[in-house]
Amino acid sequence: MSALHPPIRPEYERTLEPLGPVQAERELPWAARLWQQGWLRKTVILAVLALLWELAARLQNNELLLPTFVATVHALGEGLGSGELVEKARISLLVLLQGYFGGIVAALVLTTLAVSSQLGRDLLSTLTAMLNPLPAIALLPLALLWFGLGRGSLVFVLIHSVLWPLALNTYAGFQGVPQTLQMAGRNYGLSGLRFVFQILVPAALPSILSGLKIGWAFAWRTLIAAELVFGASSGKGGLGWYIFQNRNELYTDRVFAGLALVIIIGLLVENLAFHSLERLTVRRWGMLR
């Protein structure tokens, strides 16, 4: 035996024993299957937070400083039952939607210019560097001078709060679109708005959705803060004005009820509107897990 003549391993066959009555798949216990539901985990988290709130309020034992969770739920139920909180929320949401969609349109125009020309890119980078760090609420005094005591002032600051984060996220998503996909669109003769809406927007949709979420959060908290500072718009106040009024009258449970409604609306928009949009688009297309 040498290196020129290595040993030959004999071949053989081994018969496998039958598998027998063993299940290839085993179902998880019902508790594990139930815990996999996202709504249940979130409900447990909210229940734990509510319990901690109730315990902290009872230890504090001062309804003026911190009402209990039960008292806040009672005040929230009274406000919704009387229709007062429903009307306040309707006023706030109408103003919010105007500013939100105005910011979306402005961001789309800026990002379309940015991907179309070098001047547009310079314009977007310059404006975002100047105005994005500027708090929207800081523009409220100027908005009052320019648009007066009305809804226009609130819409102006909301557009400012939505425009810049959405424009930055959208442009970053456009820059991340593969060059091969862009060249394929050019080969099909797409240009201008057709190129943006048929190639760039679908490919950059995860970044655009992130920008929409950030813009929504900025707009919602800016509106509540503006109503707290600015007050009623054209004689009609929203949720922020409701919180401010009850704070002045020392109805702390109603203040917490107004804050709770702000949180509830935010949760509904996040889990119903944006989650459904993601499920029907980017998750369905395999762009997100």
Per-residue model confidence as pLDDT tens digits over 123-134: 888 988 888 888
222 closest CA partner among 129, 274, 154, 167: 154
CA 37 to chain centre: 21
* CB distance 163 to 214 below 8 Å: no
Q: What is the mean pLDDT of residues 92-97?
A: 90
> What's the pTM value of the predicted model, to 2 decimals?
0.79
pLDDT of 144 strictly over 60: yes
Lowest-confidence range among 42-51, 111-120, 192-201?
Answer: 192-201
Plot region of 250 (φ>0 → left; ψ -120 to 50 → alpha; else → beta) = left
Lowest-confidence range among 22-26, 61-65, 139-143?
Answer: 22-26
| pLDDT per residue as tens digits for the range 231-259 | 655 456 788 888 888 888 888 889 999 99
pLDDT of 185 strictly over 90: no
Lowest-confidence range among 9-13, 94-98, 152-156, 216-220?
Answer: 9-13
Output the pLDDT for position 234: 47
Output the pLDDT for position 52: 93
